[in-house]
Amino acid sequence: MASAAAAFSNSSLLSAGYSSSSLNLCPPPSLVSFNRSRLASLKSSSPSSPARLVVACSPNEDAAASKEETPIELRYQAFPTVMDINQIREILPHRFPFLLVDRVIEYTPGVSAVAIKNVTINDNFFPGHFPERPIMPGVLMVEAMAQVGGIVMLQPDVGGSRENFFFAGIDKVRFRKPVIAGDTLVMRMTLTKLQKRFGIAKMEGKAYVGGEVVCEGEFLMAMGSA
């Protein structure tokens, strides 16, 4: 009954001079067939007032069809590169196996940095954490985030140097989801307070996998002699 009513309503609107594109309709094949018959009868009965039938599907359906036609390997863009691994090595003193930042994808001088760590099964901590279920240790997620904070702090805009920069403390750390081999850890560190006189900086950090928060906390950095 509902489909019959829809067919009657649509055919009435079409005969009144409306097109289905202006109504944003995507009729079923049976309705298209019905309207074509109606169009033929209108043309034969009213040659001086030709009717026009336009069938247009929803833009959402067109976009979905286009996405299905695009191979999956071409649908996703790579992360941008603001600092590559060589530039990171010039800033951070860490080296293998403890350099846990692969690329900086966004940097605002003296304010924040966003970087990624590609978590792979070849990381040296996976054989022991754990052999049957490779999960990135939470302490290493925190360390990786602190290194991103170091990229912010060890810049001329802030005044730090790799010789006198230390990870001093963490508060309110929460681990929301496990990070496993194959994930890309995206970390944002934001400077919230800087006291150059005392050599203390406070930062807020969040780490994401696939847009979901997996770790967050508040970090305390110290700039001074050990």
In a domain, 14, yes or no: no
Joined tokens for residue 112: 């924040």
In a domain, 19, yes or no: no
Among residues 36, 43, 52, 129, the one annotated as catalytic is 129
pLDDT at position 52 is 53
pLDDT at position 4 is 46
User: Residues 183, 119: contact at Cβ < 8 Å?
Assistant: yes
In a domain, 4, yes or no: no
129 is annotated as an active-site residue: yes
pLDDT at position 155 is 79
- Residue 190 is part of a domain; what is its CATH number? 3.10.129.10
pLDDT at position 199 is 84
Residue 13 CA to residue 2 CA, distance in Å, equals: 16
pLDDT at position 25 is 46
pLDDT at position 14 is 46
In a domain, 58, yes or no: no
The whole domain housing 160 covers: 75-223
Q: Residue 197: count other Cβ atoms within 10 Å of its Cβ.
A: 6
Q: Residue 30: count other Cβ atoms within 10 Å of its Cβ.
A: 10
Q: For the chain, what is the domain count? A: 1
The model's pTM is 0.69
In a domain, 27, yes or no: no
Sites in the chain below the pLDDT cut of 70: 1-67, 157, 159-163, 224-226
In a domain, 30, yes or no: no
In a domain, 179, yes or no: yes
Give the pLDDT confidence of 78-129 residue by residue, as tens digits. Answer: 999 999 999 999 999 999 999 999 999 999 988 999 999 999 999 999 999 9
pLDDT at position 165 is 80
Q: Which residue, among 113, 123, 72, has the nearest Cα to 91 in the 3D structure?
A: 113
| Cα angle value 98/101/106 (rounded, 5°) | 160
User: Residues 10, 31: contact at Cβ < 8 Å?
Assistant: yes
Q: Look at the block and give the residue holding tokens 């110290």.
A: 222
